[in-house]
């Protein structure tokens, strides 16, 4: 085969090569950090100082500005992990299992926060911190799946082998996402039906929707920032482990 006929990697493959990723992603960290801080500042100003009480819930509506973004991220992060799992199994992409491993603890924290803020919102509005209904139970199951995936990543020394097994577990766990989403439609539940992402558009006034969307943007930017840093850290950790292993082998052969 001549040099001319060798297939060149496409732009996506080059961009996603671990070394290339380290090179270009460093320029994302500070812009993402600044955008995250600004979004939180604007979002919190709206949430506390420039949004009205709800006519039914009163000031309790302000809990929604931290509950809904965390609930949204609990599912978005799992979506990212499911796509990464496909990347590992179908394309054997070198960054796919790195993305999966990086995202799992972030998803676990966002899910825990969604459950925590939901419980605090539930007590005054429903009269209980917890109810074993479809939405809450399936979200708790999601948290357990995240914790299981984190435990699996820690259980394997061989991270490539772990990546393939965890990709399968991640895809099986993805069945829970539509259950969370549609649980409020399928079963009788204390939880209100969808009011932001509906076919007919958001079912809330602009004065409440605006702070909610800004806070969702802020938390999503925070996830993007932490995901980039964790992916960079994971690539460098694997590099350090490979170097340590090589050094140990060279030392043993002397």
Partner 1 sequence: MIGEGAHIEFIAWAYIGVTVLTVALVAYVVWDSFRVDARLKALDKAGIRRRSDESKR
Q: DSSP states of 87-140 as a string?
A: HHHTS--TTHHHHHHHHHHHHHHHHHHHHHHHHHHHHHHHS-S----HHHHHHH
Q: How far is the CB of 108 from partner 1 (least distance, A)?
A: 10
Residue number with CB closer to partner 1 (166 or 231): 231
Which string of b and e fits 73-95 if b means at least 16 CB within 10 Å?
bbbbbbebbbebbebbbeeebbb
Q: What is the DSSP letter of 5?
A: G
| Cβ distance to partner 1 smaller for residue 35 or 171 | 35
Does 123 bind partner 1 (CB under 8 A)? Our answer is yes
Nearer to partner 1, 113 or 213 (CB): 113
How far are the Cα atoms of 35, 116, 155 from residue 163, in angstroms, in the given order?
32, 30, 12
Residue with tokens 């009011």, as numbered in its chain: 195
Which x/- pattern over 159-198 shows residues binding partner 1 (rule: CB under 8 A)? ----------------------------------------
CA distance 21 to 232: 8
Residue 173 or residue 211: which is nearer to partner 1 going by CB?
Answer: 211
Q: Is residue 58 near partner 1 by the rule CB under 8 A? A: yes
Name which of 88 and 227 has its Cβ closer to partner 1: 227
Q: Examine residue 247 and tell whether it contacts partner 1 (CB under 8 A).
A: yes
Bridge partners of 58?
A: 54
Residues making contact with partner 1 (CB under 8 A): 48-50, 53, 58-60, 62-63, 66-67, 70, 105-106, 109, 112-113, 116-117, 120-121, 123-124, 222, 226, 229-230, 232-233, 236-237, 239-240, 243-244, 246-247
């Amino acid at each position: 085969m001549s040099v001319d006929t060798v297939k060149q990697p496409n732009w996506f493959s080059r961009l996603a090569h671990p070394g290339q990723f380290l090179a270009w992603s460093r320029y994302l960290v500070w812009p993402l950090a600044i955008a995250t801080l600004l979004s939180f500042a604007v979002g919190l100003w709206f949430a506390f100082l420039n949004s009205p009480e709800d006519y039914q819930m009163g000031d309790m509506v302000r809990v929604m500005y931290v509950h809904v973004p965390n609930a949204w991220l609990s599912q978005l992060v799992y979506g990212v992990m499911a796509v990464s799992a496909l990347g590992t199994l179908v394309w054997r992409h070198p960054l796919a299992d790195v993305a999966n491993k990086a995202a799992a603890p972030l998803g676990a924290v966002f899910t825990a926060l969604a459950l925590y803020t939901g419980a605090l919102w539930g007590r005054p509005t429903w009269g209980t911190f917890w109810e074993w209904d479809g939405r809450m139970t399936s979200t708790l199951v999601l948290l357990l799946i995240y914790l299981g995936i984190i435990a699996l990543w820690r259980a394997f020394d061989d991270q490539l082998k772990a990546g393939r097994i965890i990709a399968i577990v991640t895809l099986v766990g993805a069945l829970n996402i539509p259950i969370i989403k549609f649980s409020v439609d399928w079963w009788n539940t204390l939880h209100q039906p969808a009011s932001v992402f509906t076919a007919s558009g958001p079912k809330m006034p602009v004065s409440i929707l605006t702070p909610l969307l800004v806070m969702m943007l802020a938390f999503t930017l925070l996830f993007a920032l932490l995901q980039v840093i964790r992916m960079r850290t994971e690539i460098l950790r694997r590099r350090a482990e490979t170097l340590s292993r090589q050094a140990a082998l060279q030392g043993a052969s002397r």
